[in-house]
Copies of this chain bind each other. A is one copy, B any other.
Amino acid sequence: MAKTTDALTRRDVLLGAGAVTAALGTVTLGASTAEAAVEKWDHEADIVIVGSGVGGCTAAVTAHEQGDSVVVLEKAPFVGGTSKKSAGVLWIPNNYTLRAKGIDDKKEECLQYLARYSYPERYVAGQPNLGLAALEYALLEVFYDNASKAVDRLRELGALRTAEWRMFALDRSATDYLDHVPENKVPTGRALGPVSAEGQMGLGVELMTQLGDAVEKRKIPVLLQHEAARLVVNAAGRVVGIEATSADKKVTIRARKGVIFASGGFAHNREYADTYLRHRYYGSCAMPSATGDFVRIAGAIGARLGNMTGTWGTQIVLEDALRNHVLPTGVFFPPGDSMLQVNRHGRRVVNEKRNYNDRTEAHGYFDPSDAEYPNELMFMVYDQRTAEGFAGAYPLPPTPTGAKYVLQADTLDALADKLAARLKDIATRTGNFSLSPAFLANLKTSIARFNGFARAGRDDDFSRGAAGYDREWQMVFSPMNAASKYAAEKAPNSTMFPLSDTGPYYAVMLAAGSLDSCGGPVIDASARVLDGSDKPIAGLFGAGNCIASPSRFAYYGAGHTLGQSLTFGYIAANAAHAEPSSKA
């Protein structure tokens, strides 16, 4: 096969390169393109950014202000990504509001919290890197070192107005998602939020409107409906640009210093979910464009993948997810006090008030004796007190039966029958998930046991209400309606109240869902994407849900994903700025 002629045309070379590219995965797989094969560049910038969520916009503004020219690609027809759908909170350790209050969120102590939460099975205080691998530790350290700086820089540039994010109903500092471990020395106050010009705390729309405006004001081109297709690589293996697809046309963008991916995860890529996640996620709040493009695109040039089993979890309403895998919201905090969740055996399996990310893991439990996932669906069961007293706190409708996904019955027996019937209706969508024969009897036992815990104020099985998180976030997400006739009746543990001995009773079917995945190409402490030998791939950077999360599976507090994305977007822009230009 080897060609024997010594005289070849340029076309032969290009075909040769193309053939090798094809052999290495074919164009449809997102293999890279050789720089020599690019006939013309449609756009050119020092730094090209993929994704216009909080990570991408932070990187864009940061880069621009350092004198780098920037182009942003966005797959969707508008700016903001999943960040725009979010609550807009930013988890930033050692932030300026803490400092202003004289609270010293010390690096050494904060890193213990981060390491303990992210690597519980390897964290050892006093050991080198706290027991973590060098890269794992370095990523936590650089997050701590840059998070606060990044926000301060955006504020200084007038790109973002923030304030301490106060837990609304309480008007208290936000409590971290693992506040009750001894390693957390500053368990409240690390959350910031975006405020309007009038000083009003906003959500993701506010956050991304401000950051989007900052990008626009700087005249940074944002190419909407441009989907990243593959990287352009020069003969030395450096990333020098990117090919995108827009309206079925190929668009090439040269990146003289580097390409920063700050795009979505793979929550809506069914194949990746089957491959990388251990159990079933029925839906995700991520934007529909979160199809894991970066896994494919960076994988094609040898990026090392990490953390691939990870998602930012949340429980979701099953029946909504069956209608549409893309969900507007999740069950971030199951409302109510006279409420519990049980599995197909009618048994409680989790602290219902734990944070969404950790709580959702309970759905993945595999029962070795029956070789099945008995918690795949869970049933949130509650009484009239919760239905009325906490009405309107999602997923409770404003009136007790104001949503089709709410089942109501006069007795527990009748409720179990209704659940069984509803499950039968959707059996082909759930692998015939059904109530076990012991469901009803166990449900009654579970309620009796729960009621005992509620009266005693202590949950001996799952520690519900023991952590500050459980109690305080309940007041944020589902305070008792003040006008309710039930408000006067209190129990010693605010998160638990005995279920009534008489109906009506209610049930909502819940499943595992996600905000997005959190696995992908692995970055180093400069946000450079690493290859399989842990060497940086020159010219390629990453931040946000598209990369292997620097915090692994841990969700440190409200605003975790946005804070991490913003910080690594900032780090990436700084690192790309320092790169020499690749332009010949």
Inter-chain contact B24/A24, CB cutoff 8 Å: yes
Copies of this chain, tallied across the complex: 2
Q: Report B-chain residues with C-beta under 8 Å of the C-beta of A37.
A: 2
Mask, A348-372, CB within 8 Å of B = 1, is 0011001100110110011011111
> Bound state CA distance, A422 and B275, in angstroms?
38
Q: Report B-chain residues with C-beta under 8 Å of the C-beta of A3.
A: 10, 13, 36
Inter-chain contact A431/B351, CB cutoff 8 Å: no
A66 CB within 8 Å of chain B = no
A100 CB within 8 Å of chain B = no
Interface residues of A in 212-250 (CB under 8 A from B): 233-237, 240
Mask, A105-130, CB within 8 Å of B = 1, is 00000000000010111111101000
A432 CB within 8 Å of chain B = yes
A23 CB within 8 Å of chain B = yes
A502 CB within 8 Å of chain B = no
Mask, A528-539, CB within 8 Å of B = 1, is 000111000000
Q: Report B-chain residues with C-beta under 8 Å of the C-beta of A372.
A: 120-121
Number of interface residues of A (CB under 8 A): 106
A433 CB within 8 Å of chain B = yes
> Bound state CA distance, A29 and B299, in angstroms?
11
Closest-CB distance, A245 to chain B (whole angstroms): 16
A171 CB within 8 Å of chain B = no
Q: Interface majority SS on A: helix, strand, loop or mixed?
A: loop
Interface residues of A in 290-322 (CB under 8 A from B): 296, 299-302, 304-309
Inter-chain contact A26/B531, CB cutoff 8 Å: yes
Q: Report B-chain residues with C-beta under 8 Å of the C-beta of A483.
A: none
Tell me which of A23, A127, A271, A299 has the highest count of chain B C-beta atoms within 10 A of its own C-beta: A23
Inter-chain contact B371/A178, CB cutoff 8 Å: yes
> Bound state CA distance, A366 and B10, in angstroms?
58
A181 CB within 8 Å of chain B = yes
A19 CB within 8 Å of chain B = yes
Given A29-B532, A371-B554: A8 and B10 interface contact (C-beta under 8 Å): yes
> Bound state CA distance, A278 and B522, in angstroms?
16
Closest-CB distance, A43 to chain B (whole angstroms): 17
Q: Report B-chain residues with C-beta under 8 Å of the C-beta of A302.
A: 24-26, 29, 31, 300
Inter-chain contact A2/B38, CB cutoff 8 Å: yes
Mask, A253-272, CB within 8 Å of B = 1, is 00000000000000000010
A235 contacts which of B19, B31, B237 (Cβ < 8 Å)?
B19
A153 CB within 8 Å of chain B = no
Given A3-B13, A533-B26: A463 and B369 interface contact (C-beta under 8 Å): yes
Inter-chain contact B121/A35, CB cutoff 8 Å: no
Q: Closest residue of chain B to A469, judged by CB?
A: B369
> Bound state CA distance, A302 and B26, in angstroms?
8
Closest-CB distance, A533 to chain B (whole angstroms): 5
Closest-CB distance, A413 to chain B (whole angstroms): 22
Inter-chain contact B39/A2, CB cutoff 8 Å: yes
Closest-CB distance, A322 to chain B (whole angstroms): 14
Q: Closest residue of chain B to A360, judged by CB?
A: B368
Inter-chain contact B120/A373, CB cutoff 8 Å: yes
> Bound state CA distance, A28 and B308, in angstroms?
22
> Bound state CA distance, A57 and B306, in angstroms?
34
> Bound state CA distance, A371 and B236, in angstroms?
44
A23 contacts which of B10, B234, B361 (Cβ < 8 Å)?
B234
Q: Report B-chain residues with C-beta under 8 Å of the C-beta of A522.
A: 275
Q: Report B-chain residues with C-beta under 8 Å of the C-beta of A21.
A: 20, 24
A120 contacts which of B309, B369, B431 (Cβ < 8 Å)?
B431
Inter-chain contact B10/A34, CB cutoff 8 Å: no
A427 CB within 8 Å of chain B = yes
A35 contacts which of B2, B271, B274 (Cβ < 8 Å)?
B2
Q: Report B-chain residues with C-beta under 8 Å of the C-beta of A31.
A: 24, 302
Q: Report B-chain residues with C-beta under 8 Å of the C-beta of A95.
A: none
> Bound state CA distance, A240 and B19, in angstroms?
14
Inter-chain contact B23/A34, CB cutoff 8 Å: yes
> Bound state CA distance, A301 and B20, in angstroms?
10
> Bound state CA distance, A366 and B354, in angstroms?
13
A280 contacts which of B121, B304, B361 (Cβ < 8 Å)?
B121
Inter-chain contact A237/B305, CB cutoff 8 Å: no
A86 CB within 8 Å of chain B = no
Q: Closest residue of chain B to A234, judged by CB?
A: B1
Q: Closest residue of chain B to A9, judged by CB?
A: B6
A584 CB within 8 Å of chain B = yes
Q: Report B-chain residues with C-beta under 8 Å of the C-beta of A34.
A: 16, 19-20, 23
A78 CB within 8 Å of chain B = no
A276 contacts which of B8, B30, B233, B308 (Cβ < 8 Å)?
B308
> Bound state CA distance, A271 and B306, in angstroms?
8
- Between-chain CB contacts (< 8 Å), 27 pairs: A1-B584, A2-B39, A6-B9, A8-B8, A8-B9, A16-B36, A19-B235, A20-B235, A23-B32, A24-B24, A26-B237, A26-B302, A29-B531, A121-B430, A124-B431, A271-B304, A275-B307, A276-B308, A278-B278, A278-B309, A354-B368, A355-B368, A358-B369, A369-B462, A369-B463, A369-B464, A371-B554
The 6 closest A-B CB pairs, nearest first, are A25-B302, A358-B368, A23-B233, A19-B235, A122-B431, A120-B372
